[in-house]
Amino acid sequence: MSKISSVVKKLTSYRLFLPIFCLILVLLSNLIKTPAFFEVSIKNGVLYGYIIDVINRASDLVILAVGMTFVIAVSGGTDISVGAVMSVAAAVCCYILAGGQQSVNEFQNPYILGVLAAMAAGVLCGCFNGFLVAKMKIQPMVATLILFTAGRGIAQLVTKGQITYIRVESYKMLGASIPGIPIPTPVFVAFLVVAITYVLIKKTTLGMYVQSVGINPRASRLLGIKSTWIIFLSYAFCGICAGIAGLVASSRIYSADANNIGLNLELDAILAVALGGNNLGGGKFSLLGSVIGAYTIQALSTTLYAMSVSPDQLPVYKAIVVVVIVSLQSPELKKMWKKLSAGRAVGKEVA
């Protein structure tokens, strides 16, 4: 009996145990609901199937979760402006590509310009947040609240209050697929972002510095790490990620819908990071964990949709999951649990 418990103990001690366990759980429940869940076929030259859909739709969230991981790891705070920044980036891109018009059938300016503009918008927003948090030492949730409020308004201004449409086949490719390649493009983009970030972490000092600052900012300062700079960079990076995610989301609907792009994705991004086993208070992080968390959430949404839950009602379940996870992470709860089991142990002794 004890051998099994020791195996279980070893399994649960792996960092990625929680995220992988949750993912498997959700995938299984999907399978139960939809027996054809894992079936994959090729339609119109592109991979097709429920599971493909999940992976595809999760891409925006994966990209956001990558950026959010850094922000949470380095400062224990969150960036709730990511959804709004996506909207701004999409608006800027479509504005440039449409040359200021509301609906176009061909690019008014080179595609690459639109892409760069979107990423620049993302970076700028990130730098704004980073400046407030790192330099002005304002609490992260408050600092990012500003763009959360104003971001969509700015996007509306750029698109002049209308939805800007880019009815160009090549624009849709980013959100759909490139002819000749069976894998949907968003999946590629997500993969690329994760891969580049991974390289950044391993091949530069960024990963180590972020963790060091997040775990012990005092010690980090004493050994020569410029924590202000690192925090600033993390928020800027999160901004870029939001910009890229905005591009993908915009491409899916070949337009810039300031009100709806990235709507409610903030909570999903935070949830993804938490589900990934990362401590919401900051410190050591696992990029892979957040990525797995993002796919888990998307799969969870799919399960719930299959159970006839509407998109508007979905947040209820996500909220419950968040509350459960952070409660479990709470040291206070652990203390209470200890007291309770100590009391029970004493009771046993006496008996």
Partner 1 sequence: MQKEVVLSMRNISKTFPGVRALDHVDFTLRQGEIHALMGENGAGKSTLIKVLTGVEEFESGEIRIAGAEGAIINHSPQEAGEHGISTVYQEVNLCPNLSVAENLFIGREPKRAGMIDWKTMNQKARDLLDSLDIQIDVAMAVENYSIALQQMIAIARAVDMSAKVLILDEPTSSLDENEVGKLFGLMGRLRAEGVGIIFVTHFLEQVYAVCDRITVLRNGALVGEYEIEKLPRVQLVAKMMGKDFDDLEAIKKTGESREQTGEVVIDARGIGHQGTIKPFDLEVRKGEVIGLTGLLGSGRSELARSLYGADKADSGELKVNGKAVSVNSPLDAMMAGMAYLPENRKEEGIINDLSVRENLILALQAKKGMFHLLSRKEQEEFTDKYIQLLQIKTADRETPIRQLSGGNQQKVILGRWLLTQPDFLILDEPTRGIDVGTKTEIQKLVVKLAGEGMSVMFISSEIEEMLRTCSRMAVLRDGQKVGELREEELNQNNIMKAIAGGEANE
Partner 2 sequence: MKKKRNIDGNTFLLMITIVLFFVMYLIGILVFKDKGFAKPQVFLNLFISNAGLIVIAAGMTMVMIAGGIDISVGSVVALTCMLLAWMMDVKGIGAVPALILVLIMGLVFGLAQGYLIAYLKVQPFIVTLAGMFFARGMTAMISQEMISVKNTTFQSWAKAKINLTFLGGTVNKKGVMTYPFIYPGVLIALAVLVIVFVMLKFTKFGRTIYAVGGNEQSALMMGLNVKRTKLLVYVANGFLCALGGFLFCLNTCAGFVEQAKGFEMEAIASAVIGGTLLTGGVGNVFGSLFGVLIKGTIETFITFQGTLSSWWTKITIAALLAFFIILQSLFAKAKGKKK
Applying the rule CB under 8 A, the residues between 141 and 170 that interact with partner 2 are 141-143, 145-150, 152-154, 156-157, 161
Phi then psi dihedrals of residue 182, to 5 deg = -70, -20
Residue of 110, 182, 315, 343 interacting with partner 2 (CB under 8 A): 315
Residue ranges of E strands in 6-142: 41-43, 46-48, 103-104
181-220: contacts with partner 1 (CB under 8 A)? 203-206, 208-209, 211-212, 215-216, 218-220
* Total chain residues near partner 2 (CB under 8 A): 45
Asked if 270 touches partner 2 (CB under 8 A), the answer is: yes
- Segment interacting with partner 2 (CB under 8 A) among 52-60, 239-247, 294-302, 322-330: 322-330
Determine, following the binding rule CB under 8 A, whether residue 323 of this chain makes contact with partner 2.
yes
Contacts of 120 (CB under 8 A, 6+ apart): 92, 243
Binding partner selected for residue 221 from partner 2, partner 1, none, CB under the kind-specific 5 to 8 Å limit: partner 1
Rounded Cα distance, 131 and 144, in Å: 11
φ/ψ bin of 224: left (φ > 0), alpha (ψ from -120 to 50), beta (otherwise):
left
- Alpha-carbon gap, residue 183 to 181, rounded angstroms: 6
Residue 225 binding partner 1, by CB under 8 A: yes
The alpha carbon of residue 135 and the mean position of all alpha carbons in its chain are separated, in whole angstroms, by: 25
Site for partner 2 in 28-87 (CB under 8 A): 78, 80
Question: Looking at beta carbons only, is 116 or 146 nearer to partner 2?
Answer: 146
Q: Which residue shows structure tokens 């999409």? A: 90
Binding mask 79-118 for partner 1 (x = CB under 8 A): ----------------------------------------
Q: Among 313, 339, 344, 345, which residue interacts with partner 2 (rule: CB under 8 A)?
A: 313
Three-state SS for 288-349 is HHHHHHHHHHHHHHHHHHHCCCCCCCHHHHHHHHHHHHHHHHCHHHHHHHHHHHHHHHHHHH
> Which chain residues interact with partner 2 by CB under 8 A?
78, 80, 132, 136-139, 141-143, 145-150, 152-154, 156-157, 161, 264, 266-267, 270, 280, 310, 312-320, 322-323, 326-327, 330-333
